[in-house]
Chain A
Amino acid sequence: MIEEPYRWVEAIANRREYIEMQLASGSPIIALGYADGIVLLTVGRHKLFEIYDRIALGAIGHPGDIERLRMAAIELASTEGFTRAAADVSLRRLAYYSLSPVMKNAFEQIYGAPFLARLLFAEIGATPADDLFFRVEYDGAITVKQSKEEESPFAVLSGSQGSAEQMEEFLRKEHRTDEALSTALELALDAWTLGQSGATGTNEIPSREQLRELRRERLGNSIVEAAVLERQSRLAVRYRALNESDLAKLEQR
Protein backbone atom coordinates (compact mmCIF):
# COMPACT_ATOMS: atom_id res chain seq x y z
CA MET A 1 0.00 0.00 0.00
CA ILE A 2 2.64 2.54 0.96
CA GLU A 3 4.58 1.79 -2.21
CA GLU A 4 2.12 4.15 -3.79
CA PRO A 5 3.13 7.65 -2.71
CA TYR A 6 -0.32 9.18 -2.79
CA ARG A 7 -1.57 6.46 -0.45
CA TRP A 8 1.12 7.37 2.01
CA VAL A 9 0.19 11.04 1.81
CA GLU A 10 -3.42 10.09 2.30
CA ALA A 11 -2.59 7.92 5.28
CA ILE A 12 -0.60 10.74 6.84
CA ALA A 13 -3.43 13.18 6.28
CA ASN A 14 -5.90 10.79 7.90
CA ARG A 15 -3.57 10.29 10.79
CA ARG A 16 -3.21 14.05 11.26
CA GLU A 17 -6.97 14.46 11.28
CA TYR A 18 -7.33 11.67 13.81
CA ILE A 19 -4.69 13.12 16.15
CA GLU A 20 -6.11 16.64 15.91
CA MET A 21 -9.50 15.21 16.86
CA GLN A 22 -7.98 13.40 19.82
CA LEU A 23 -6.18 16.49 21.05
CA ALA A 24 -9.04 18.93 20.48
CA SER A 25 -10.48 18.63 23.98
CA GLY A 26 -7.16 19.27 25.72
CA SER A 27 -7.11 21.89 28.43
CA PRO A 28 -5.08 24.90 27.19
CA ILE A 29 -1.73 25.74 28.76
CA ILE A 30 -0.41 29.28 29.08
CA ALA A 31 3.18 30.35 29.76
CA LEU A 32 3.76 34.04 30.50
CA GLY A 33 6.77 36.12 31.36
CA TYR A 34 6.18 38.15 34.54
CA ALA A 35 8.31 40.38 36.75
CA ASP A 36 10.26 37.55 38.41
CA GLY A 37 10.36 34.93 35.69
CA ILE A 38 7.90 32.73 33.82
CA VAL A 39 4.58 31.43 35.07
CA LEU A 40 2.80 28.40 33.58
CA LEU A 41 -0.88 27.73 34.16
CA THR A 42 -3.51 25.22 33.16
CA VAL A 43 -6.63 23.62 34.58
CA GLY A 44 -6.43 19.98 35.48
CA ARG A 45 -3.97 17.80 37.29
CA HIS A 46 -0.49 16.63 36.33
CA LYS A 47 -0.13 18.67 33.17
CA LEU A 48 2.83 20.81 34.22
CA PHE A 49 6.17 19.21 34.96
CA GLU A 50 9.69 19.99 36.05
CA ILE A 51 12.19 18.72 33.48
CA TYR A 52 15.39 20.25 34.79
CA ASP A 53 16.63 23.15 36.89
CA ARG A 54 15.53 25.81 34.41
CA ILE A 55 13.17 23.87 32.13
CA ALA A 56 9.44 23.29 32.56
CA LEU A 57 7.00 21.29 30.45
CA GLY A 58 3.28 21.59 29.87
CA ALA A 59 1.54 18.95 27.79
CA ILE A 60 -1.74 18.07 26.14
CA GLY A 61 -2.52 14.57 24.96
CA HIS A 62 -2.62 10.96 26.00
CA PRO A 63 -1.21 10.53 29.50
CA GLY A 64 0.78 7.47 28.45
CA ASP A 65 2.48 9.29 25.58
CA ILE A 66 3.10 12.41 27.65
CA GLU A 67 4.71 10.23 30.29
CA ARG A 68 7.08 8.56 27.79
CA LEU A 69 8.17 11.88 26.33
CA ARG A 70 8.51 13.51 29.74
CA MET A 71 10.60 10.63 31.04
CA ALA A 72 12.87 10.71 27.99
CA ALA A 73 13.35 14.46 28.34
CA ILE A 74 14.21 14.16 32.06
CA GLU A 75 16.66 11.33 31.42
CA LEU A 76 18.41 13.27 28.70
CA ALA A 77 18.60 16.51 30.69
CA SER A 78 19.72 14.69 33.85
CA THR A 79 22.52 12.74 32.21
CA GLU A 80 23.69 15.86 30.37
CA GLY A 81 23.56 17.92 33.56
CA PHE A 82 25.46 15.24 35.44
CA THR A 83 28.16 14.75 32.83
CA ARG A 84 28.78 18.44 32.26
CA ALA A 85 27.01 21.11 34.25
CA ALA A 86 23.46 22.29 34.75
CA ALA A 87 24.22 25.33 32.58
CA ASP A 88 24.99 23.03 29.64
CA VAL A 89 21.52 21.52 29.57
CA SER A 90 19.93 23.22 26.59
CA LEU A 91 16.28 23.25 25.70
CA ARG A 92 17.13 23.88 22.07
CA ARG A 93 19.15 20.69 21.84
CA LEU A 94 16.54 18.73 23.76
CA ALA A 95 13.80 19.77 21.36
CA TYR A 96 15.59 19.74 18.02
CA TYR A 97 18.11 17.01 18.47
CA SER A 98 16.25 14.60 20.68
CA LEU A 99 12.47 14.89 20.76
CA SER A 100 11.61 16.18 17.30
CA PRO A 101 13.23 13.37 15.24
CA VAL A 102 11.67 10.70 17.43
CA MET A 103 8.21 12.25 17.22
CA LYS A 104 8.47 12.80 13.47
CA ASN A 105 9.55 9.24 12.98
CA ALA A 106 6.68 7.82 15.02
CA PHE A 107 4.24 10.03 13.14
CA GLU A 108 5.40 8.96 9.70
CA GLN A 109 5.71 5.23 10.39
CA ILE A 110 2.11 4.67 9.48
CA TYR A 111 2.00 1.11 10.74
CA GLY A 112 3.14 2.18 14.19
CA ALA A 113 1.46 4.35 16.77
CA PRO A 114 2.16 8.10 16.74
CA PHE A 115 2.53 10.18 19.88
CA LEU A 116 -0.77 11.68 20.87
CA ALA A 117 0.86 14.66 22.49
CA ARG A 118 1.59 18.33 22.04
CA LEU A 119 4.30 19.80 24.23
CA LEU A 120 5.17 23.28 25.46
CA PHE A 121 8.63 23.78 26.96
CA ALA A 122 9.77 26.91 28.74
CA GLU A 123 13.34 27.69 29.69
CA ILE A 124 14.31 30.55 31.97
CA GLY A 125 17.48 32.46 31.12
CA ALA A 126 19.66 34.98 32.89
CA THR A 127 17.63 37.87 31.46
CA PRO A 128 14.15 37.99 29.87
CA ALA A 129 15.84 38.16 26.45
CA ASP A 130 17.31 34.69 27.08
CA ASP A 131 13.95 33.12 27.88
CA LEU A 132 12.81 30.48 25.42
CA PHE A 133 9.49 28.85 24.61
CA PHE A 134 9.32 25.78 22.37
CA ARG A 135 6.18 24.13 21.12
CA VAL A 136 6.76 20.59 19.87
CA GLU A 137 3.97 19.01 17.86
CA TYR A 138 3.04 15.34 17.54
CA ASP A 139 4.68 15.30 14.07
CA GLY A 140 7.94 16.75 15.37
CA ALA A 141 7.29 20.29 14.12
CA ILE A 142 8.74 22.95 16.41
CA THR A 143 7.61 26.51 16.94
CA VAL A 144 10.10 28.72 18.77
CA LYS A 145 9.10 31.81 20.67
CA GLN A 146 11.96 33.89 21.86
CA SER A 147 11.32 37.11 23.65
CA LYS A 148 12.30 40.16 21.69
CA GLU A 149 12.47 43.62 23.10
CA GLU A 150 9.37 44.91 21.36
CA GLU A 151 7.36 41.81 22.18
CA SER A 152 6.45 40.49 25.57
CA PRO A 153 7.27 36.81 25.94
CA PHE A 154 4.47 34.29 26.19
CA ALA A 155 3.43 31.02 24.60
CA VAL A 156 0.27 28.96 24.53
CA LEU A 157 -0.66 25.39 23.85
CA SER A 158 -4.17 24.41 22.92
CA GLY A 159 -6.24 21.56 21.58
CA SER A 160 -6.95 23.35 18.32
CA GLN A 161 -5.15 25.79 16.09
CA GLY A 162 -8.04 28.24 16.20
CA SER A 163 -8.17 28.47 19.95
CA ALA A 164 -4.39 28.86 20.17
CA GLU A 165 -4.51 31.76 17.71
CA GLN A 166 -7.29 33.45 19.66
CA MET A 167 -5.35 33.13 22.89
CA GLU A 168 -2.24 34.56 21.27
CA GLU A 169 -4.15 37.49 19.85
CA PHE A 170 -5.65 38.15 23.27
CA LEU A 171 -2.30 37.94 25.03
CA ARG A 172 -0.55 40.15 22.49
CA LYS A 173 -3.01 42.85 23.50
CA GLU A 174 -3.19 42.24 27.25
CA HIS A 175 0.14 40.86 28.34
CA ARG A 176 2.85 43.00 30.02
CA THR A 177 6.15 41.47 31.08
CA ASP A 178 6.69 43.40 34.30
CA GLU A 179 3.50 42.44 36.12
CA ALA A 180 3.32 40.85 39.55
CA LEU A 181 2.69 37.12 39.83
CA SER A 182 -0.93 37.55 40.96
CA THR A 183 -1.71 39.75 37.91
CA ALA A 184 0.00 37.31 35.56
CA LEU A 185 -1.98 34.41 37.04
CA GLU A 186 -5.28 36.26 36.54
CA LEU A 187 -4.36 37.00 32.93
CA ALA A 188 -3.29 33.42 32.31
CA LEU A 189 -6.58 32.15 33.69
CA ASP A 190 -8.48 34.60 31.48
CA ALA A 191 -6.51 33.33 28.50
CA TRP A 192 -7.32 29.79 29.52
CA THR A 193 -11.03 30.65 29.69
CA LEU A 194 -10.81 32.10 26.20
CA GLY A 195 -8.95 29.08 24.85
CA GLN A 196 -11.39 26.69 26.45
CA SER A 197 -14.39 28.57 25.03
CA GLY A 198 -12.80 28.80 21.62
CA ALA A 199 -15.28 26.33 20.21
CA THR A 200 -18.21 28.74 20.70
CA GLY A 201 -17.82 29.88 17.13
CA THR A 202 -17.57 33.64 17.56
CA ASN A 203 -14.39 35.24 16.30
CA GLU A 204 -14.81 38.29 18.47
CA ILE A 205 -12.56 38.21 21.53
CA PRO A 206 -14.63 38.88 24.64
CA SER A 207 -13.58 41.58 27.11
CA ARG A 208 -11.83 40.76 30.39
CA GLU A 209 -15.14 41.28 32.23
CA GLN A 210 -16.94 38.87 29.95
CA LEU A 211 -14.12 36.38 30.41
CA ARG A 212 -14.46 36.60 34.19
CA GLU A 213 -18.13 35.73 33.81
CA LEU A 214 -17.25 32.83 31.55
CA ARG A 215 -14.51 31.69 33.88
CA ARG A 216 -17.02 30.86 36.61
CA GLU A 217 -18.92 28.74 34.16
CA ARG A 218 -15.93 26.99 32.61
CA LEU A 219 -13.93 26.40 35.71
CA GLY A 220 -16.59 24.82 37.91
CA ASN A 221 -14.87 22.71 40.51
CA SER A 222 -11.77 22.07 38.41
CA ILE A 223 -8.33 22.49 39.88
CA VAL A 224 -6.00 25.22 38.69
CA GLU A 225 -2.43 24.01 38.31
CA ALA A 226 0.39 26.51 38.08
CA ALA A 227 4.16 26.60 38.35
CA VAL A 228 6.86 29.23 38.07
CA LEU A 229 10.43 29.37 36.82
CA GLU A 230 12.08 31.99 39.00
CA ARG A 231 14.86 34.10 37.57
CA GLN A 232 16.51 35.25 40.79
CA SER A 233 16.76 32.36 43.14
CA ARG A 234 19.41 31.28 45.58
CA LEU A 235 18.67 27.72 44.53
CA ALA A 236 19.85 26.04 41.35
CA VAL A 237 16.37 24.62 40.81
CA ARG A 238 14.26 27.45 39.43
CA TYR A 239 11.09 25.42 38.99
CA ARG A 240 8.51 25.71 41.72
CA ALA A 241 4.99 24.30 41.64
CA LEU A 242 2.57 26.84 43.11
CA ASN A 243 0.63 25.57 46.09
CA GLU A 244 -2.89 26.20 47.34
CA SER A 245 -1.99 29.38 49.19
CA ASP A 246 -0.27 30.87 46.12
CA LEU A 247 -3.42 30.26 44.09
CA ALA A 248 -5.94 31.12 46.80
CA LYS A 249 -6.06 34.76 45.71
CA LEU A 250 -7.34 33.97 42.23
CA GLU A 251 -10.82 35.32 41.76
CA GLN A 252 -13.70 32.94 41.28
CA ARG A 253 -12.17 29.60 41.77
Chain B
Amino acid sequence: MDSRTQPLQWPASGAEDFPELLRRRGILAPVHQADTAAPAGNFLPTESTTILAFKFADGVLVAGDRRATSGNTVVYDRADKVLEIDRHSIMAIAGVPATAWEMARVLEHSFQFFRRTQLQEMSIDGKVRALSKLLRDNLGFALQGIGVVVPIFATFDSKALPAARLYFYDAMGAQFEATDFAATGSGSPAVRGILYYENTWGEKPLQKLSRDEAVVVALRALDTASEADTATGGIDRHAKIFPVMKIVSADGITTLSEEKIAELFRERVA
Protein backbone atom coordinates (compact mmCIF):
# COMPACT_ATOMS: atom_id res chain seq x y z
CA MET B 1 0.00 0.00 0.00
CA ASP B 2 1.17 3.50 -0.71
CA SER B 3 2.72 4.64 2.54
CA ARG B 4 1.12 8.06 2.27
CA THR B 5 -2.37 6.70 2.44
CA GLN B 6 -1.86 4.34 5.33
CA PRO B 7 -4.01 4.93 8.38
CA LEU B 8 -2.51 5.35 11.79
CA GLN B 9 0.16 2.76 12.37
CA TRP B 10 -0.58 1.14 15.62
CA PRO B 11 0.88 1.02 18.14
CA ALA B 12 2.99 4.13 17.64
CA SER B 13 6.61 3.19 17.38
CA GLY B 14 7.51 5.50 20.27
CA ALA B 15 10.53 7.66 20.81
CA GLU B 16 12.58 6.48 17.90
CA ASP B 17 14.80 8.35 15.54
CA PHE B 18 12.93 10.25 12.81
CA PRO B 19 14.94 8.87 9.84
CA GLU B 20 14.32 5.39 11.26
CA LEU B 21 10.59 6.10 11.34
CA LEU B 22 10.70 7.26 7.71
CA ARG B 23 12.58 4.13 6.66
CA ARG B 24 10.14 1.88 8.46
CA ARG B 25 7.30 3.48 6.51
CA GLY B 26 9.17 3.26 3.24
CA ILE B 27 9.44 7.03 2.81
CA LEU B 28 13.21 7.26 3.07
CA ALA B 29 15.43 4.89 1.11
CA PRO B 30 17.20 2.25 3.21
CA VAL B 31 20.85 2.87 4.08
CA HIS B 32 22.75 2.33 0.85
CA GLN B 33 25.45 -0.26 1.31
CA ALA B 34 28.95 0.68 0.20
CA ASP B 35 29.28 -0.15 -3.47
CA THR B 36 32.27 1.21 -5.31
CA ALA B 37 30.97 0.33 -8.79
CA ALA B 38 31.00 3.42 -10.95
CA PRO B 39 27.58 4.85 -11.85
CA ALA B 40 26.12 3.83 -15.21
CA GLY B 41 27.42 5.58 -18.31
CA ASN B 42 29.02 8.94 -17.86
CA PHE B 43 26.49 10.17 -15.34
CA LEU B 44 27.48 13.53 -13.93
CA PRO B 45 25.58 14.58 -10.82
CA THR B 46 24.71 18.22 -10.26
CA GLU B 47 27.10 19.67 -7.71
CA SER B 48 27.35 22.86 -5.77
CA THR B 49 30.19 24.83 -4.23
CA THR B 50 31.55 26.91 -2.33
CA ILE B 51 30.49 27.57 1.23
CA LEU B 52 32.22 29.29 4.11
CA ALA B 53 31.47 30.27 7.69
CA PHE B 54 33.37 32.16 10.34
CA LYS B 55 32.79 33.59 13.77
CA PHE B 56 32.66 37.36 14.09
CA ALA B 57 31.60 39.82 16.79
CA ASP B 58 27.83 39.07 16.61
CA GLY B 59 27.92 35.31 16.02
CA VAL B 60 28.61 33.19 12.96
CA LEU B 61 28.34 34.38 9.36
CA VAL B 62 27.53 31.62 6.88
CA ALA B 63 27.84 32.35 3.17
CA GLY B 64 27.56 30.39 -0.04
CA ASP B 65 27.86 31.17 -3.74
CA ARG B 66 24.88 30.46 -5.99
CA ARG B 67 26.22 28.17 -8.69
CA ALA B 68 25.25 24.54 -9.28
CA THR B 69 27.19 22.62 -11.93
CA SER B 70 27.16 19.25 -13.63
CA GLY B 71 30.56 18.49 -15.07
CA ASN B 72 31.50 21.72 -16.80
CA THR B 73 27.90 22.81 -17.39
CA VAL B 74 26.34 25.47 -15.20
CA VAL B 75 22.96 24.05 -14.21
CA TYR B 76 21.68 26.88 -12.07
CA ASP B 77 22.99 30.24 -10.96
CA ARG B 78 20.59 30.96 -8.12
CA ALA B 79 21.03 27.88 -5.94
CA ASP B 80 20.57 28.38 -2.21
CA LYS B 81 23.17 26.42 -0.29
CA VAL B 82 22.69 28.10 3.07
CA LEU B 83 19.66 26.46 4.67
CA GLU B 84 17.86 27.25 7.91
CA ILE B 85 17.26 24.08 9.89
CA ASP B 86 15.65 25.58 12.99
CA ARG B 87 15.51 28.88 14.88
CA HIS B 88 19.19 28.74 15.73
CA SER B 89 20.80 26.35 13.26
CA ILE B 90 22.07 26.68 9.73
CA MET B 91 23.34 23.93 7.47
CA ALA B 92 25.36 25.03 4.46
CA ILE B 93 26.05 22.50 1.74
CA ALA B 94 28.72 21.74 -0.78
CA GLY B 95 28.24 18.69 -2.93
CA VAL B 96 25.24 17.10 -4.61
CA PRO B 97 22.12 19.17 -3.88
CA ALA B 98 19.72 16.28 -4.46
CA THR B 99 21.24 14.50 -1.47
CA ALA B 100 22.02 17.63 0.52
CA TRP B 101 18.54 19.15 0.34
CA GLU B 102 17.02 15.83 1.33
CA MET B 103 19.45 15.67 4.27
CA ALA B 104 18.52 19.19 5.32
CA ARG B 105 14.84 18.26 5.17
CA VAL B 106 15.35 15.12 7.22
CA LEU B 107 17.43 17.08 9.70
CA GLU B 108 14.87 19.86 10.07
CA HIS B 109 12.08 17.35 10.66
CA SER B 110 14.26 15.29 13.02
CA PHE B 111 14.85 18.25 15.33
CA GLN B 112 11.17 19.12 15.36
CA PHE B 113 10.12 15.52 15.83
CA PHE B 114 12.45 15.26 18.80
CA ARG B 115 11.14 18.47 20.37
CA ARG B 116 7.51 17.44 19.88
CA THR B 117 7.84 13.88 21.13
CA GLN B 118 10.40 14.42 23.90
CA LEU B 119 9.03 17.82 24.96
CA GLN B 120 12.46 19.39 24.99
CA GLU B 121 14.83 20.88 22.47
CA MET B 122 17.49 18.51 21.12
CA SER B 123 20.92 19.27 22.58
CA ILE B 124 23.62 20.84 20.42
CA ASP B 125 25.62 17.62 20.59
CA GLY B 126 22.56 15.65 19.54
CA LYS B 127 21.99 17.91 16.54
CA VAL B 128 25.62 17.77 15.46
CA ARG B 129 25.55 14.01 15.78
CA ALA B 130 22.27 13.69 13.83
CA LEU B 131 23.89 15.27 10.78
CA SER B 132 26.93 13.05 11.20
CA LYS B 133 24.65 10.01 11.16
CA LEU B 134 22.94 11.14 7.94
CA LEU B 135 26.32 11.52 6.25
CA ARG B 136 27.39 8.13 7.49
CA ASP B 137 24.18 6.57 6.10
CA ASN B 138 24.97 8.19 2.75
CA LEU B 139 28.46 6.72 2.54
CA GLY B 140 27.53 4.21 -0.16
CA PHE B 141 26.45 6.95 -2.55
CA ALA B 142 29.44 9.08 -1.61
CA LEU B 143 31.80 6.23 -2.51
CA GLN B 144 30.05 5.80 -5.83
CA GLY B 145 30.80 9.42 -6.51
CA ILE B 146 27.19 10.41 -7.06
CA GLY B 147 26.06 11.73 -3.72
CA VAL B 148 28.92 13.40 -1.92
CA VAL B 149 27.85 16.05 0.58
CA VAL B 150 30.29 18.04 2.71
CA PRO B 151 28.29 20.37 4.95
CA ILE B 152 28.99 23.08 7.48
CA PHE B 153 26.75 23.34 10.52
CA ALA B 154 26.45 26.56 12.54
CA THR B 155 24.32 26.93 15.63
CA PHE B 156 23.99 28.93 18.82
CA ASP B 157 24.38 27.24 22.17
CA SER B 158 22.22 29.12 24.67
CA LYS B 159 22.75 26.59 27.44
CA ALA B 160 25.76 26.51 29.77
CA LEU B 161 28.10 28.92 28.00
CA PRO B 162 26.19 31.04 25.48
CA ALA B 163 28.29 30.95 22.35
CA ALA B 164 28.04 30.41 18.63
CA ARG B 165 29.28 26.97 17.58
CA LEU B 166 30.62 26.03 14.19
CA TYR B 167 31.24 22.55 12.78
CA PHE B 168 32.37 21.14 9.48
CA TYR B 169 32.19 17.55 8.31
CA ASP B 170 33.90 15.22 5.93
CA ALA B 171 31.93 13.05 3.50
CA MET B 172 32.07 10.08 5.89
CA GLY B 173 30.41 11.95 8.72
CA ALA B 174 33.31 12.93 10.95
CA GLN B 175 32.51 16.22 12.67
CA PHE B 176 35.13 18.82 13.46
CA GLU B 177 34.45 21.85 15.60
CA ALA B 178 36.00 24.97 14.09
CA THR B 179 37.43 27.59 16.42
CA ASP B 180 37.38 30.44 13.91
CA PHE B 181 36.32 29.48 10.40
CA ALA B 182 35.41 26.65 8.04
CA ALA B 183 35.07 26.31 4.28
CA THR B 184 34.17 23.36 2.06
CA GLY B 185 33.59 22.74 -1.63
CA SER B 186 35.85 23.00 -4.62
CA GLY B 187 36.60 26.69 -4.10
CA SER B 188 37.49 26.19 -0.45
CA PRO B 189 41.30 26.10 -0.70
CA ALA B 190 41.33 29.75 -1.79
CA VAL B 191 38.73 30.68 0.85
CA ARG B 192 40.67 28.97 3.60
CA GLY B 193 43.80 30.80 2.53
CA ILE B 194 42.05 34.16 2.73
CA LEU B 195 40.32 33.48 6.03
CA TYR B 196 43.56 32.24 7.57
CA TYR B 197 45.39 35.30 6.32
CA GLU B 198 42.71 37.71 7.54
CA ASN B 199 42.52 36.03 10.91
CA THR B 200 46.27 36.01 11.47
CA TRP B 201 47.61 39.10 9.76
CA GLY B 202 44.54 41.11 8.86
CA GLU B 203 43.61 44.40 10.55
CA LYS B 204 41.90 42.44 13.30
CA PRO B 205 41.06 38.79 13.97
CA LEU B 206 37.81 37.51 12.40
CA GLN B 207 36.10 37.25 15.78
CA LYS B 208 36.47 41.01 16.27
CA LEU B 209 34.93 42.00 12.92
CA SER B 210 31.71 44.02 12.81
CA ARG B 211 28.82 42.76 10.72
CA ASP B 212 29.66 44.92 7.71
CA GLU B 213 33.34 44.02 7.88
CA ALA B 214 32.44 40.34 8.05
CA VAL B 215 30.24 40.61 4.96
CA VAL B 216 33.06 42.31 3.06
CA VAL B 217 35.53 39.54 3.99
CA ALA B 218 33.04 36.88 2.88
CA LEU B 219 32.40 38.64 -0.44
CA ARG B 220 36.10 39.01 -1.14
CA ALA B 221 36.74 35.37 -0.25
CA LEU B 222 33.99 34.06 -2.55
CA ASP B 223 35.07 36.38 -5.35
CA THR B 224 38.62 35.07 -5.03
CA ALA B 225 37.41 31.46 -5.02
CA SER B 226 35.46 32.00 -8.24
CA GLU B 227 38.54 33.50 -9.89
CA ALA B 228 40.21 30.11 -10.25
CA ASP B 229 37.39 27.64 -9.66
CA THR B 230 34.83 27.43 -12.47
CA ALA B 231 32.36 25.60 -10.23
CA THR B 232 32.10 28.59 -7.91
CA GLY B 233 29.73 31.36 -8.97
CA GLY B 234 31.23 34.06 -6.77
CA ILE B 235 29.56 37.35 -7.60
CA ASP B 236 27.78 37.71 -10.92
CA ARG B 237 28.41 41.37 -11.72
CA HIS B 238 26.46 41.21 -14.92
CA ALA B 239 23.25 39.60 -13.65
CA LYS B 240 23.66 41.07 -10.14
CA ILE B 241 23.57 37.73 -8.36
CA PHE B 242 25.11 37.89 -4.92
CA PRO B 243 26.01 35.13 -2.46
CA VAL B 244 23.46 34.10 0.18
CA MET B 245 24.53 35.14 3.67
CA LYS B 246 22.96 34.33 7.00
CA ILE B 247 23.99 35.12 10.54
CA VAL B 248 23.45 32.92 13.59
CA SER B 249 23.43 34.79 16.89
CA ALA B 250 21.77 34.65 20.30
CA ASP B 251 18.63 36.19 18.75
CA GLY B 252 18.32 33.49 16.11
CA ILE B 253 18.96 33.65 12.39
CA THR B 254 19.16 36.82 10.30
CA THR B 255 19.24 36.71 6.52
CA LEU B 256 21.19 39.60 5.04
CA SER B 257 19.20 41.45 2.40
CA GLU B 258 20.47 41.45 -1.13
CA GLU B 259 20.40 45.26 -1.14
CA LYS B 260 22.71 45.41 1.86
CA ILE B 261 25.14 42.94 0.31
CA ALA B 262 25.04 44.80 -3.02
CA GLU B 263 25.73 48.08 -1.26
CA LEU B 264 28.76 46.73 0.61
CA PHE B 265 29.94 45.11 -2.59
CA ARG B 266 29.80 48.41 -4.48
CA GLU B 267 31.55 50.34 -1.73
CA ARG B 268 34.28 47.98 -0.67
CA VAL B 269 34.69 45.05 -3.02
CA ALA B 270 33.96 45.93 -6.63
A residues bordering B, Cβ < 8 Å?
Answer: 46, 49-52, 68, 71-72, 74-76, 78-84, 97-99, 101-102, 235, 237
In B97-114, the 8 Å CB interface with A consists of 105-106, 109, 112-113
Residues of B in contact (CB 8 Å), total 26
Q: Which residues of chain B are within 8 angstroms of A75 by Cβ–Cβ distance? A: 9, 12-13, 21
Q: Which residues of chain A are within 8 angstroms of B113 by Cβ–Cβ distance? A: 74, 78
Cβ contacts A to B, 11 pairs, < 8 Å: A49-B116, A50-B115, A71-B12, A72-B8, A76-B8, A78-B18, A78-B21, A78-B113, A82-B22, A84-B4, A97-B7
Q: Does B7 contact A101, Cβ atoms closer than 8 Å?
A: yes
In B1-55, the 8 Å CB interface with A consists of 3-4, 7-15, 18, 21-22, 25, 27
A82 to B106, CA, bound (A): 8
A51 to B112, CA, bound (A): 10
Q: Which residues of chain A are within 8 angstroms of B117 by Cβ–Cβ distance? A: 71, 74
Q: Which residues of chain B are within 8 angstroms of A97 by Cβ–Cβ distance? A: 7-8
Q: Does A78 contact B14, Cβ atoms closer than 8 Å?
A: no
Q: Does A50 contact B116, Cβ atoms closer than 8 Å?
A: yes
A75 to B27, CA, bound (A): 13
Given B9, B10, B87, B109, which contacts A78 in the complex, CB threshold below 8 Å?
A: B109
Q: Does A83 contact B109, Cβ atoms closer than 8 Å?
A: no
Residue of A nearest to B4 (CB): A83
A98 to B8, CA, bound (A): 5
Q: Which residues of chain B are within 8 angstroms of A99 by Cβ–Cβ distance? A: 8
Given A72, A80, A82, which contacts B12 in the complex, CB threshold below 8 Å?
A: A72
Given B11, B109, B115, which contacts A72 in the complex, CB threshold below 8 Å?
A: B11
Q: Which residues of chain B are within 8 angstroms of A78 by Cβ–Cβ distance? A: 18, 21, 109, 112-113, 116
Contacts A75-B12, A102-B7 known; 13 new A-B pairs at CB < 8 A: A49-B116, A50-B116, A51-B116, A71-B15, A72-B8, A72-B10, A75-B9, A75-B21, A84-B4, A97-B8, A99-B8, A101-B8, A235-B87
